[in-house]
Amino acid sequence: MPAASCIASVHTHGTGTLVRLCGEIDIATAPDISDYLDTLSYAGAAELLIDLRQVEFMDGSGVRLLNRARARGDGRLRVICTDPTTLRLLRHPSLRMWFDILDHLPLPVTDS
């Protein structure tokens, strides 16, 4: 588990990895989160699921780290978010978000 205080937990979720973030994701916290997500991407997680439901604030640094995580990984990136302010940021028309934004934790996908 990384030292970043805004990474609440990291768990296996089916064939992927669930990362629950909390607190504030900004210029001060984003580099540590980004480094950790890079580590998960390089480890070959089939899916990276990032839960933002406990995040109280996120700025452009958070958007950049999500896009970086998507670009670095070979698998799928999905984000769980229900906060209206953060959703407005993620859905801003000038941004190109190449990941799904969900409103709940999906059932885990398993290899059959």
pLDDT in tens, 40-54: 877 766 789 999 999
pTM of the model: 0.89
Grade residue 69 by pLDDT with cuts at 50, 70 and 90: confident
**Would you say 13 and 108 are in contact if contact means Cβ atoms under 8 Å apart?**
yes
- pLDDT higher for 83 or 67? 83
